Structure 1
Amino acid sequence: MKRRIVAAVIFACLCGKTAFTQNPQSIPESSPTAPTQGGSPKATQPKDGGSFLGKDIPSFDPGSEVMVWDGKIWNVQDQRVFRARFEKYLNSEEETGEDAKKYRDRMKTMLDLLSPAKASKENFRKAWAMLPQASEYEPDAGLCNSLDDAIYGVLMAQREVTKIDDQNRTLAQRKDTLEWNSRFAADSGLLGPAPKNPAAAEQWNKEQTLKRDMKMQPLLTELGEVNASIAGNRVKKEALRLQAKIELQVLIAQLFLQRRFEHVLLANRFYRTLFGDGDSQLRVADEYAANQSDKNKESFGDISKLPKTIGQLDALANEAIRDVREGVEAFSFLLEKNEMKSASERLSEAFVVGEYLPEIRLLPRAKKRQVIEFTQKSNQLLSSLEVKDYERAAALVRELESISRDFDSAKPMAAIETARTVSALHLAKARAAASSGDRTTLENELRSATEIWPRNPALAEVSGAIFSQTDVQQQALNDFDRLYAQKNFRQIYEDKVRFIAATALDRVKQEKLKQVLDQVQLAEAALLRAAELAKRGDSAGAWESVERGFSDYPDDPKLNQARAEFTTQAAEFV
Structure 2
Amino acid sequence: MKAIPILALLSVAGAATAQVYSPPTGEPKRTAPPSDTVTRVNSDKKPAKSPFGEEIPMLDPSAETITVGGVTIPLGDNRLMKARFEKYLSQPEESSGAAKEYRDTVREILAAVSPFREGGPSLKDGWSKLPAASAYPGDANICGSLAEAVYVAMLAKRDVNGLKNLNNELEKEKQRRIGDGDWKTRHDKTEKMNVTKTVGESTTTTQEAAVGFSDNSLEYAEVLRRIAEIEVLKKANLLKTEAQVLQTKIQYQVNMVQWFAQRRFEHVLMASRFYNQIWKDGDTTLHIDENSDVSKLFTQSVGVSPTVASLDSLSNEAIREVDKAIEAFNYLVDEGELHSASQRLMEAFALGEYLAPVATLPRERKRKVQAYMRDLNDLYGMMQARDYGGAKDLIARLQSQARDFPSAKASSAIAGYTLASDLSIEKAKAMLLEGESEAAAKEIVAAAEIWPTNPKLDEFRELINKSGTVVTTRNDFDRLLSEKNYREIFRRRFEFVPVIKGDATREDAMQQILESIQRIEIALNKASEFSNIGNSYGAWEQLALLREEFPDDPNLGRQLEKLAPKVADFTKALDEAQRLENRSPRQTGSSMSWYLKARGIYPQSRIADEGIQRLLDEILPEGDALSPRDAVETEG
TM category, shorter:
0.5 to 0.7
Report Cα offsets for 1:260-281 as digits up to 9, x if no partner: 0000100000000111122212
Q: Would you say the 8 A contact 2:66–2:351 is kept in 1?
A: no
CA spacing shift, 1:236–1:222, aligned 2, 3 Å? same
Structure 1 letter corresponding to 2:269? L
Of Structure 1 and Structure 2, which has the larger fraction of its residues in helix?
1
Which residue matches 2:133? 134
TM-score, L = length of structure 2? 0.59
Structure 2 letter corresponding to 1:235? L
Which residue matches 2:354? 356
Question: How much does 1:85 deviate?
Answer: 1.1
Which residue matches 2:263? 259
Which residue matches 2:113? 114
Report Cα offsets for 1:24-67 as digits up to 9, x if no partner: xxxxx9654643362489x9xxxxxxxxxxxxxx98899xxxx9
Gaps of 5+ in 1: 1-28, 44-57, 70-75, 474-574
Structure 1 letter corresponding to 2:463? A
TM-score, L = length of structure 1? 0.65
Alignment of 1:83-482 (within 5 A): 83-118=82-117, 123-190=122-189, 205=210, 208=212, 213-286=217-290, 305=303, 307-469=305-467
Which residue matches 1:6? none
Larger radius of gyration: 2
Q: Work out which of the residue numbers 49, 52, 57 in structure 2 matches 1:36.
A: 57
Report Cα offsets for 1:332-375 as digits up to 9, x if no partner: 00000000000000000111111111110011111111111110
Write the distance in 1 (CA, Å) between the matches of 2:77 and 2:393.
21
3-state SS of paired residue (1:36): coil
3-state SS of paired residue (1:276): coil
Which residue matches 2:32? none
Write the distance in 2 (CA, Å) between the matches of 1:352 and 1:297.
21
Alignment of 1:4-43 (within 5 A): 32=52, 34-36=55-57, 38-39=59-60
3-state SS of paired residue (1:277): coil
3-state SS of paired residue (1:284): coil
Write the distance in 2 (CA, Å) between the matches of 1:210 and 1:201.
22
Write the distance in 2 (CA, Å) between the matches of 1:124 and 1:297.
29
Question: How much does 1:303 deviate?
Answer: 9.7
Report Cα offsets for 1:208-253 as digits up to 9, x if no partner: 5779612312222222222211121111112111222121111111
3-state SS of paired residue (2:122): helix
Write the distance in 1 (CA, Å) between the matches of 2:454 and 2:301.
54
Write the distance in 1 (CA, Å) between the matches of 2:67 and 2:144.
38
* Identical columns (%): 33
Write the distance in 2 (CA, Å) between the matches of 1:304 and 1:414.
40
Q: Would you say the 8 A contact 1:113–1:119 is kept in 2?
A: no
Write the distance in 2 (CA, Å) between the matches of 1:119 and 1:276.
19
Q: Would you say the 8 A contact 1:77–1:83 is kept in 2?
A: no
Write the distance in 1 (CA, Å) between the matches of 2:172 and 2:362.
68
Q: Would you say the 8 A contact 2:187–2:212 is kept in 1?
A: no
CA spacing shift, 1:132–1:201, aligned 2, 3 Å? farther
CA spacing shift, 1:454–1:410, aligned 2, 3 Å? same
Report Cα offsets for 1:387-428 as digits up to 9, x if no partner: 111111001000000000100111111111111110111112
Question: How much does 1:461 deviate?
Answer: 2.2
CA RMSD, aligned part only?
Answer: 3.6
Write the distance in 2 (CA, Å) between the matches of 1:129 and 1:150.
13
3-state SS of paired residue (2:217): helix
Structure 1 letter corresponding to 2:97? E
Q: Would you say the 8 A contact 2:298–2:305 is kept in 1?
A: no
Q: Would you say the 8 A contact 2:298–2:306 is kept in 1?
A: no
3-state SS of paired residue (1:117): coil
CA spacing shift, 1:191–1:397, aligned 2, 3 Å? same
Write the distance in 1 (CA, Å) between the matches of 2:406 and 2:103.
40
Question: Higher relative contact order by CA 8 Å / sep ≥ 6: 1 or 2?
Answer: 2
Structure 2 letter corresponding to 1:146? S
Write the distance in 1 (CA, Å) between the matches of 2:296 and 2:94.
43
Q: Would you say the 8 A contact 2:56–2:383 is kept in 1?
A: no
Q: Would you say the 8 A contact 1:186–1:212 is kept in 2?
A: no
CA spacing shift, 1:383–1:313, aligned 2, 3 Å? same
3-state SS of paired residue (1:401): helix
CA spacing shift, 1:211–1:38, aligned 2, 3 Å? closer
Q: Would you say the 8 A contact 1:285–1:303 is kept in 2?
A: no
